[in-house]
C-alpha cells in the first residue's frame, strides 16, 4: 500500500490524525526514556474484549510509574472514535499513555501532562466463526536473555521499555535453519525458571493438569487470567508453580496466550515436538464462545 | 522562556529543525518500544570530550540491539552542525539512534532505516575555569529498585529503556523530608551488591584505596573509565570489587561520575555523612586539566 493510499487514522493527544501526521515530540519522555504505559487489546465486532481488565492494568501501570492520574477519563471514547474513524470492528487496539514532554533530566516532575496515543490495525473476525491471526502452531525456542526481574521493573506493568523481549526475539535469528523456524522466544527468570514468551504467557498440560508459571517475574497477561477463569469454570485441575525447560518440553500439550494471539498451540519447544491436544482445543473453544457471547 | 522565543534547533533524520517541529512517528520503534541507542556526551569549547569512547559505545549498543550498521557515518558532522546551529560551545549533547518506523510486531525486521536525533542544551563552561553543573555535593539514597541484570539487558548498552533509573529516582520522593533531600538514587544488583546511581557510577575511598564496583550488572560509564585512567596515571591504589551499602556509607570519601556531572562529591549516603576529600579533589583537578588540554 502506498503512503498516499494509507487512510489509517490514529488518536494523538485528543485528536484523530492521519497516520503520517501522528507524531510525538523528541522531548516526550515516552520517546526519550520509554517512560509510558502501554496496553494492547483486541476489539471484536467493535467491542474491546475484557476492557475492564485492560483498563485496570493500564491504571496499575500508571500508578507504578508514579503518574496515577495520567489515564484520561474519556479513554474508552477515544478508543471507540479511533475504531470508527478507521471503519474497523475487528482490530488490535494499542494505547500509550506517556509522561509527556518535560525538560531536562531523568527525574520526573510531579506535574504530568500525559501524551495519549491510540493506534488500531485490522484483524480477522474472532469468535466461533473467526480465524486465527497466526499461520500455525508456535515454534518455540528458549533463549539466553533472562526476564527482567520484578525487583528491577514491576512485572505487572506494561510499558514502552520492551528491549528485553526484543533481544529475546533477536536471538531467534541465530537459531533459525531451513527446518527450524522459531517464532516465539521462551524466557527464563534469572534463577532459570520458565517465565514467559516475549509477548505471551505459557501454559502446558501434564498428566491431565493445566500448568503455568506462577506470578513473580512474569507478566500476568489478561488472556492468561481469562484462561484460568475458563479452566476454573470447567473444574480442570490447575497448578501454578516453578518449572524448568524440561517440564515444558516433556509436556503432553502446550500453548501460548496473548490478547492478539488468543490461545495458540505450541508445535515444539527447542525442536522437541509438544503439540496441542484436547485441553488446548477445549479452552480455545471456550475462549471463542466467550468472545462470541460478549462482543458479537 | 515562551515557546515563541525558543530558538533551539535539533537534528532529526538529517535535518536541522526548530525544537517544536522535532518529532518522530508514533510508529517509530524508538517511541513504541524504546528500541533505540542513546548516548549523552558533553561538549567543551565546541569539542565533544572523549568522542572516541562515546562513538565506540554507541556502536556497541547498536550491535547489541542487532542493528550494527545503524549509526550514520556523518554523526560527528550532525553533532557539530547542531552545536553550531544553536551557537553553543559548552553543552550537553544527546544522540538517539532508533530502529526506525517498522510495521507490526515486536520482532524487528532485518532491514533498518534508523531515525537519528541530536539534541543539545547549554551548560556552563567546564575545565579549570569552569563551574559545576550541580548545586552541591550529592545527597544519595539507596533504593529498593534493583539494577536490571546484564542477563536481561546488556549492562553496557545505553538505550531508550530508562524506566529502571526512573523508578529508582521516583523512590526519592518518598524519602524526602525537610532536612533530607536526596537527589541521586543508589541501586544494588539483584544480589544486593552496590551497582550504580540512576545516572552515575559510584566511587569511594577507604584506607587510601579508590574503590568502585566491578563491571557486571553496572553500566561502565565513560567518565568512570576516565577516572580510572587518571588514578592509574597518579599510581593511586585502585580496587574494583563487590561492595555492600555499608562499604559506601563508611567510606572516607565518595563521589559520583557521569558525563554531565563529571566528578560530583557525595555529601551523604542514606543520611550518613561521607563527603569528599583530598582524593576526590585531586581527581576533579586532573579531570578539569584533561578537559582544558583536550577541548579549550
Residue-wise pLDDT tens digits, A202-245: 999 999 999 999 988 788 899 999 999 999 999 999 999 999 99
* Strands in chain A per DSSP E: 9-12, 15-18, 23-25, 36-44, 47-48, 91-98, 115-122, 138-142, 184-188, 194-197, 201-206, 209-213, 238-241, 253-258, 262-269, 272-273
Report which of residues A82 and B4 the model is more confident about.
Answer: A82
> What are the grid coordinates assigned to B193, written together?
551488591
Continuous segment of H or E residues that includes residue B227: helix B222-233
Chain B closest-CA separation from residue A151 CA (Å) = 6
For B61, the 3-state DSSP assignment is helix
Task: Kindly state the cell numbers that stand for B143.
Answer: 533504593
List CB contacts of B85: < 8 A, sequence separation 6 or more.
Answer: B9, B11, B16
Contact A19 B27 (CB under 8 A): yes
Q: Which chain B residues are within 8 Å of A196, Cβ to Cβ?
A: none
Confidence of residue A201 (pLDDT cuts 50, 70, 90): very high
pLDDT of B1: 43
* C-alpha torsion angle, residues A103, A118, B65, A246 (rounded to 10): 130
pLDDT of residue B216: 84
Shortest distance between the Cα of B33 and any Cα of chain A, in A, equals 5
**Does A1 have pLDDT greater than 60?**
no
A23: nearest CA partner in chain B:
B25
Q: Is 50 exceeded by the pLDDT of residue A2?
A: no
Q: Which of B26, B117, B152 sits opposite A117 (nearest CB)?
A: B26
Nearest CA among A29, A53, A33 for reference residue A41: A53
d(CA A124, CA B16): 42
Which residues of chain B have a pLDDT value below 70? 1-5
Whole-number average pLDDT of chain B:
95
Put simply, the answer to whether B161 touches A161 (Cβ < 8 Å) is yes
For residue B54, give the C-alpha cell: 562515546
Instruction: Give just the sign of the alpha carbon dihedral B225, B189, A168, A20.
Output: negative
Q: Give the per-residue pLDDT at A174.
A: 86
Contact B166 A108 (CB under 8 A): yes
Q: What is the pLDDT of residues A5-51, one digit of tens each?
A: 689 999 999 999 999 999 999 999 999 999 999 999 999 999 999 99
CA-derived radius of gyration, chain A:
20
The cell numbers describing A23, all together, are 507524531
Question: Which of the residues A163, A171, A188, A258 would you substitute to probe the B interface, choosing the one with the greatest number of B C-beta atoms within 10 Å?
Answer: A163
pLDDT, greater one: B219 or A260: A260
Q: Rounded to two decimals, what is the model's pTM?
A: 0.96
Res A5: pLDDT = 61
Task: Mean pLDDT check: name the lowest of A181-195, A256-270, B173-187, B240-254.
Answer: B173-187
| Shortest CA distance from A183: residue in chain B | B107
How many angstroms separate the CA of residue A284 from the nearest CA in chain B? 23
User: What is the percent of chain A where pLDDT is above 90?
Assistant: 92
Dist. CA B18–CA B165, nearest whole Å: 29
Amino acid at each position: 500500500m502506498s503512503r498516499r493510499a494509507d487512510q489509517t487514522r490514529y488518536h494523538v493527544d485528543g485528536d484523530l490524525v492521519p497516520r503520517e501526521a501522528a507524531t510525538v515530540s523528541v522531548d516526550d519522555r515516552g520517546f526519550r526514556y520509554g517512560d509510558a504505559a502501554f496496553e494492547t487489546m483486541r476489539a471484536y465486532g467493535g467491542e474491546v474484549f475484557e476492557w475492564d481488565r485492560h483498563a485496570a492494568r493500564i491504571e496499575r501501570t500508571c500508578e507504578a510509574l508514579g503518574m496515577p492520574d495520567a489515564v484520561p477519563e474519556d479513554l474508552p471514547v477515544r478508543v471507540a472514535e479511533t475504531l470508527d474513524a478507521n471503519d474497523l470492528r475487528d482490530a488490535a487496539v494499542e494505547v500509550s499513555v506517556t509522561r509527556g514532554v518535560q525538560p531536562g533530566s531523568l527525574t520526573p516532575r510531579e506535574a504530568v501532562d500525559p501524551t495519549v496515543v491510540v493506534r488500531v490495525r485490522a484483524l480477522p473476525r474472532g469468535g466461533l466463526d473467526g480465524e486465527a491471526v497466526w499461520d500455525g502452531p508456535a515454534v518455540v525456542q528458549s533463549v539466553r536473555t533472562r526476564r527482567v526481574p520484578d525487583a528491577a521493573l514491576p512485572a505487572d506493568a506494561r510499558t514502552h521499555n520492551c528491549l528485553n523481549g526484543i533481544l529475546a526475539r533477536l536471538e531467534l535469528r541465530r537459531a533459525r535453519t531451513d527446518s527450524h523456524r522459531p517464532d516465539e522466544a521462551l524466557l527464563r527468570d534469572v534463577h532459570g525458571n520458565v517465565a514467559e514468551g516475549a509477548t505471551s504467557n505459557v501454559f502446558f498440560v501434564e498428566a491431565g493438569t493445566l500448568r503455568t508459571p506462577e506470578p513473580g517475574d512474569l507478566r500476568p497477561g489478561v488472556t492468561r487470567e481469562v484462561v484460568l477463569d475458563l479452566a476454573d469454570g470447567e473444574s480442570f485441575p490447575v497448578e501454578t508453580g516453578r518449572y524448568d525447560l524440561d517440564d515444558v518440553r516433556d509436556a503432553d500439550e502446550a500453548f501460548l496466550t496473548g490478547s492478539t494471539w488468543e490461545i495458540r498451540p505450541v508445535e515444539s519447544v527447542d525442536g522437541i515436538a509438544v503439540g496441542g491436544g484436547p485441553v488446548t482445543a477445549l479452552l480455545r473453544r471456550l475462549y471463542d464462545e466467550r468472545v462470541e457471547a460478549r462482543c458479537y
